[in-house]
Structure 1
Amino acid sequence: MVLRAGGVVLPLRPGPVRLGPLCGRQARGLSNFYSCRFAPPGLERARDPVAAMAALARDLRRRRFDSLWFDALDEGPKDVVAEGLRRAGWIVEPFPQFGNWYLATEGLDFDAYWQQRPGALRNTGRRRSRALLEKGEGRIARFAQPEEADAAIAAYEAVYATSWQPAEPFPGYIPGLIRQGLADGEAAVWCLFIGARPVAAQIWVRRHGQATIFKLAYDQDWSRQSVGTVLTMAAMRAALADPTIREIDFGWGDDPYKQEWLPERRQRYGIAAYNPRRWVGVALAIRNLARQKIRNAMG
């Protein structure tokens, strides 16, 4: 489902929303479980983005949706979307969703970057890289060509299966992402091998000068050898030598290790909105907003 108004395009995925025995209709922004950033296309270029968003929101009320949901919005788009929804009469609930750690890289080479990292990380990276890559059987591979998709998927999935990561909720998604990303020239899979065995892997996605470390995993049997650190160090060295990359980020989440590599943080937001002219919309608003007030009152 795609709506358009005032130069703004709003792709949506309609579906059910349940509240006890009640079942209503919800439209969600076209993001998914893995999305790191979302904004309606054209929002930044629109002459009056709030008015455009309000027109879209009024259209959604006429279509009798009970609630709306948007994920992974930067602060600017979050404010525009929320204000447009309010003008159209929706009850709006913005909320902080996750942190995104990043680094602006223009004019930054690897040596300068590495000197800014914590001393413990520099020591571990230097020592383990020497042990594994210079004196050991380790080698770094980068899969970036379409014909390398099968090898990239096999290496990544072999590492993931031996890692601490939980099973993927949609097991076909990552292989499809790798295959399509390599075909489009917008993804690469980095892998550290010890002999013939892959022990660490990362998926990097890049577009419009931004590179995202989208997924990473390492074999738990090799955790003491800091194989993840060794691989990240090699991938960062290559990224900082690429003049087309202006920013590197870590995707979704505030895992403590991320700020050691990428020191800046920005907040990404979600928005829930409720239709006050629909019983399910009102019930959802009462339940969710009351729950938030109780949490705030309890500190």
Structure 2
Amino acid sequence: MKQVAQNLTFVVIVFCLIAGCKFKDPSIPGHSRKPMLSFKNVEGITYTEVRRQQNGLSFNEYGYHLNSDWKLRFVSNDSIALYSPVKKQFLNFPLSCGIDSVFNTNRSFLRMKHMSKDSLIFELLEAKDDSLDMKGTKVYMLFYADNYIKNVLHTNAATLQRSNRKDSLFVKELIKRADSSLTNAFAALNPVQLISTRSSITVEKKKTVADFLFNNYNTSDDYMNPTYYITINKVHSDFNYSFSAYVDKEGKLFYNTPLIPFGDGGYKQEYVRFSKAIMNTYLKPYVKVKPGQTLGMSHTSSINLYVHGKKS
């Protein structure tokens, strides 16, 4: 319920921000009236996203993959249809317009940089507390009209959305950095796989359920912060430890740091000592580790482990 309240609060703030936008005062030097954004000329046209960064890359230095997963159609000046990959259909969402080509929908603030019947370009904006950062994120979303893709470019969206040579070269550079130091690890688009080789040890990977209210259909946390719940049965005494670890491109496991906070005192050292022992005694010998991969290339990445020992 707390999470629902937080999300509803965010939605309220969004509409307050949009409603609070005012035209610039023409009586002040340097200010001029700017017309409200209108989508009338492109209403009814279905657009599909093909790229989301100005430099043409679909990855950033942390391994985050800017997935081209938006498909939209402007229904009117206050309504937009967005395709839900979960429900496999278009859903209508409110559309709020501000000044300076800014609009909001589906809990996202965007600035229209280009609009035509063939293509659209948006820039993502960030909302911080009760204000909107108008400097922009320099992350751009490029859309082509489905008709333009088929009849002018003579291709399909899947082909346009593929990672390109520039992406491959960029990922190779990230891998070189990660090879030089574990601390340069980056998220793997295909995360680490942990496979138990003993019936007394079970491994479950956390899986994000795509949902509009809670995560805006964004499941990227599954590879940005891969989390595994491991249960070890028939141990000498019950225990619970949580820590992060690195997995290098050979599949070797390296302890990183505990996932719980500590106050003053020596308890942290004891916690690290015991959790390392659990990793070395149970996980390394009895859990097969397949390294994470991005674009088919294995590399060092970080994972979170929650290990529960059960005596009986």
Q: Which has the higher contact order (CA 8 A, sep 6+)?
A: 1
Shared fold by TM > 0.5?
no
Q: Choose between structure 1 and 2: higher helix proportion.
A: 1
Q: From the CA coordinates, give the structure whose radius of gyration is larger.
A: 2
Q: How does the TM-score come out when normalised to structure 1?
A: 0.23
